């Protein structure tokens, strides 16, 4: 008996339980992301107009990635409905580039990943987040669309003219420090951004102009009145040339020192000193005086840079920022270790950061990390103020919610005119009533195990019968035997002895 034959008999166009990861599940993206939500959705998402921080812990397969995709989808809908009060989204879910760069810097002290991650600080997270946000913003300005290619996050070129000169300077400074696109060289991309913003900075080259023009005039006058020999054999023309070039040389030395400090301090981003020096030399001296720079081991400068970033976004129509933190257990430097995840995440548990005005963080974290919360001291809780962060200690699913989720997915793939009769209960014999089915699903805990189990149950049932003699309802014996085998495999996986 074929699985598709069973599905068509029950009015379904496809198997709604064949995919297990929301990231690659077309059914979830096309149908369920806008209609099927976890019971705690309202607390996690809050309001798009006033984004709030939420800290969510959930086991593998509980729907953390699905939540992230749904948050992006809801914000996209909000942005389309409110083009002048949009929300800018930063998805902080690929840690590998930042952790690799950080680990390379820390190899001088230790090759041990645990010791490397123990040195990770809040300002390193802020550098990574600013890098993602600034890169996406610059891409949207230069190419007319965001990295997500979603019209809800595009930049209207007409709004660029509303940026004040200080805001244009701030955006160019942020781009010099944080823009990390692989398409163009940093200098070329920065130049294109400067032209797009119509930011004129001719006075930045006064010292170079003085050196070139003054040396040319001096050479011309000296050779005219005394000949080339006079210029070559006298010491005073060379002294004057040295004085003419002294401002440029002094400024370049200062910029080299500044670029070296930035490249040394920004451990999650690979900065080359000379390209950064060239970019910084295109600013006037007054544009750099008193400006925050990521050149020290502290978060104060990053907060100021984040505020500048928000100011630019507000002028461009983005009233707030939502930062989504997900897939913390996937980087190869973490390798699923709960202790390493704790070392990476704990610096972010700072109330000043979590409650930064105009920013909402959604921390979608593995359940293994939550066990470390009970071991923390009073100082940690006073610093993090988790009582104010919409904390969800476990992203739990009841048997009823899993049963509803299964029915929602069946409805999404129902054939035309078959919606009324498409129910999970109709798959089973009458001896398997709804309360028994709900209690069975409750033992699976999370959606991923639900999908795996139902898919396995469907295959087991179809393998028991031929296409000529099909049976359209699954019996209790098949249900219980498949459940026993799956729970045994699940227990082995939880103990780290199986593949799940």
Q: Has residue 89 been placed in a domain?
A: yes
Distance, in Å, from the CA atom of 415 to the CA atom of 253, rounded to the nearest integer, reads 71
Distance, in Å, from the CA atom of 220 to the CA atom of 227, rounded to the nearest integer, reads 9
Residues 304 and 333 both lie in one domain: yes
Distance, in Å, from the CA atom of 429 to the CA atom of 432, rounded to the nearest integer, reads 6
Least confident of 63-77, 177-191, 255-269: 177-191
How large is the angle between the packed helices 273-280 and 236-265, nearest 10 degrees? 110
CB atoms within 10 A of CB 210: 16
Q: Has residue 207 been placed in a domain?
A: yes
pLDDT over 90, % of the chain: 55
Distance, in Å, from the CA atom of 74 to the CA atom of 66, rounded to the nearest integer, reads 12
pLDDT, residue 375, reads 87
The upper half-sphere exposure of residue 260, i.e. CA atoms within 13 Å in the direction of its Cβ, equals 6
Distance, in Å, from the CA atom of 213 to the CA atom of 245, rounded to the nearest integer, reads 10
Residues 92 and 177 both lie in one domain: yes
* Burial group, residue 35, by CB count within 10 angstroms (0-12, 13-18, 19+): exposed
Whether residue 276 is predicted with pLDDT greater than 90 in this model: the reply is yes
pLDDT, residue 224, reads 63
- What would the mean pLDDT of 70-84 be, rounded to a whole number? 91
Whether residue 150 is predicted with pLDDT greater than 90 in this model: the reply is no
DSSP summary character for residue 88 = E
Mention every residue, 6+ apart, whose C-beta is less than 8 A from residue 113: 103, 333, 335, 340
Q: Has residue 28 been placed in a domain?
A: no
More confident residue, 407 or 494: 407
In the numeric block, the tokens 């930049």 are attached to: 155
- What would the mean pLDDT of 88-106 be, rounded to a whole number? 93
Distance, in Å, from the CA atom of 23 to the CA atom of 18, rounded to the nearest integer, reads 14
pLDDT, residue 240, reads 74
Domain span at 110: 40-200+294-392
Residues 480 and 417 both lie in one domain: yes
Mention every residue, 6+ apart, whose C-beta is less than 8 A from residue 9: 470, 472
Residues 140 and 238 both lie in one domain: no
pTM of this structure: 0.89
Strand partners, 366: 58
pLDDT, residue 231, reads 58
pLDDT, residue 108, reads 66
Least confident of 22-31, 217-226, 347-356, 488-497: 217-226
Among 342, 377, 392, identify where a domain stops: 392
Kindly indicate the confidence band of residue 187, based on its pLDDT and cuts at 50, 70 and 90: confident
Whether residue 499 is predicted with pLDDT greater than 50 in this model: the reply is no
Residues 51 and 145 both lie in one domain: yes
Q: Has residue 424 been placed in a domain?
A: yes
Residue by residue, DSSP assigns 32-62 as: ITTT---TTHHHHH--SSS---EEEEE-TTS
Q: Has residue 288 been placed in a domain?
A: no
Residues 239 and 152 both lie in one domain: no
Least confident of 144-148, 167-171, 470-474, 487-491: 144-148
Q: Has residue 289 been placed in a domain?
A: no
Kindly indicate the confidence band of residue 88, based on its pLDDT and cuts at 50, 70 and 90: very high
Residues 195 and 207 both lie in one domain: no
Mention every residue, 6+ apart, whose C-beta is less than 8 A from residue 281: 204, 251, 252, 255
Average pLDDT along the chain = 88
pLDDT in tens, 392-404: 998 889 999 999 9
Strand partners, 54: 362
Among 340, 360, 392, identify where a domain stops: 392
pLDDT in tens, 26-50: 888 887 777 788 889 999 998 888 8
Report whether 290 contacts 152 (CB < 8 A): no
pLDDT over 70, % of the chain: 93
- What would the mean pLDDT of 300-316 be, rounded to a whole number? 96
Q: Has residue 17 been placed in a domain?
A: no
Whether residue 166 is predicted with pLDDT greater than 90 in this model: the reply is yes
Whether residue 111 is predicted with pLDDT greater than 80 in this model: the reply is no
Token pair, residue 429, equals 């014999």
Kindly indicate the confidence band of residue 112, based on its pLDDT and cuts at 50, 70 and 90: confident
More confident residue, 147 or 194: 194
Among 223, 246, 281, identify where a domain stops: 281
Residues 121 and 83 both lie in one domain: yes
Phi-psi region of 199 (alpha: psi -120 to 50; beta: other; left: phi over 0): beta
pLDDT, residue 497, reads 45
* Burial group, residue 107, by CB count within 10 angstroms (0-12, 13-18, 19+): exposed
Cα distances from 306 to residues 303, 332, 335, 359, 495, in angstroms, run 5, 29, 30, 10, 43
pLDDT, residue 145, reads 58
Residues 173 and 65 both lie in one domain: yes
Least confident of 153-162, 173-182, 219-228: 219-228
pLDDT, residue 498, reads 43
pLDDT, residue 274, reads 92
Report whether 268 contacts 302 (CB < 8 A): no
Residues 56 and 168 both lie in one domain: yes
Residues 334 and 455 both lie in one domain: no
Least confident of 146-160, 196-210, 420-434: 146-160
- Total of domains in the chain: 3
Q: Has residue 287 been placed in a domain?
A: no
pLDDT, residue 232, reads 62
Phi-psi region of 335 (alpha: psi -120 to 50; beta: other; left: phi over 0): left
Considering Cα of 425, then 428, then 433, then 437, what sign does the dihedral take?
negative
Residues 111 and 143 both lie in one domain: yes
Whether residue 217 is predicted with pLDDT greater than 90 in this model: the reply is no
């Amino acid at each position: 008996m074929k699985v598709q034959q069973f599905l068509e008999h029950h009015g379904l166009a496809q198997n709604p339980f064949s995919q297990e990861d929301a990231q690659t599940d077309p059914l979830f993206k096309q149908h369920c992301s806008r209609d099927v939500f976890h019971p705690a959705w309202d607390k996690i998402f809050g309001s798009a107009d006033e984004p709030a921080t939420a800290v969510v812990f959930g086991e593998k397969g509980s729907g953390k990635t699905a939540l992230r995709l749904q948050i992006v989808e809801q914000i996209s809908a909000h942005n389309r409905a409110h083009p002048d009060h949009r929300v800018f989204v930063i998805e902080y879910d690929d840690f590998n580039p930042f952790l690799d760069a950080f680990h390379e810097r820390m190899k001088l002290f230790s090759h041990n990943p645990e010791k490397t991650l123990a040195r990770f600080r809040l300002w390193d997270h802020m550098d990574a987040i600013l890098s993602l946000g600034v890169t996406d913003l610059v891409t949207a300005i230069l190419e007319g669309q965001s990295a997500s290619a979603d019209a809800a996050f595009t930049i209207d070129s007409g709004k660029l003219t509303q940026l004040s000169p200080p805001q244009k300077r701030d955006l160019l400074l942020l781009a010099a420090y944080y823009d990390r696109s692989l398409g163009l060289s940093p200098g070329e991309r920065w130049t294109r951004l400067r032209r797009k913003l119509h930011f004129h900075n001719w006075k930045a080259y006064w010292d170079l102009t003085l050196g070139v023009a003054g040396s040319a005039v001096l050479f011309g006058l000296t050779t005219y009145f005394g000949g080339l020999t006079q210029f070559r054999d006298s010491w005073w023309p060379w002294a004057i040339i040295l004085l003419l070039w002294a401002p440029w040389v002094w400024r370049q030395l200062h910029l080299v020192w500044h670029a070296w400090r930035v490249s040394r301090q920004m451990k999650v981003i690979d900065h080359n000193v000379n390209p950064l020096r060239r970019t910084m030399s295109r600013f006037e001296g007054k544009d750099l005086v008193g400006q925050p720079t990521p050149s020290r081991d502290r978060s104060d400068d990053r907060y100021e840079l984040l505020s500048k970033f928000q100011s630019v976004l507000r002028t461009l129509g983005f009233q707030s920022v939502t930062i989504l933190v997900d897939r913390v257990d996937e980087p190869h430097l973490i390798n699923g270790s709960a202790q390493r995840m704790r070392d990476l995440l704990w610096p972010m548990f700072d109330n000043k950061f979590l409650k930064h005005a105009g920013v909402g963080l959604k921390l979608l974290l593995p359940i293994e990390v939550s066990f470390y919360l009970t071991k923390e001291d009073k100082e940690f809780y006073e610093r993090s103020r988790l009582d104010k962060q919409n904390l969800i200690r476990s992203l739990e699913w009841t048997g009823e919610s899993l049963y509803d989720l299964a029915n929602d997915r069946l409805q999404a793939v129902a054939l035309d005119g078959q919606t009324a009769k498409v129910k999970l209960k109709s798959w089973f014999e009458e001896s398997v009533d709804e309360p028994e089915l709900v209690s069975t699903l409750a033992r699976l805990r999370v959606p991923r195990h639900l999908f795996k189990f139902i898919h396995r149950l469907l295959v087991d049932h179809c393998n028991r019968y031929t296409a000529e003699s099909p049976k359209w309802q699954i019996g209790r014996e098949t249900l219980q035997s498949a459940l026993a085998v799956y729970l045994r495999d699940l227990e082995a996986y939880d103990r780290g002895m199986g593949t799940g």
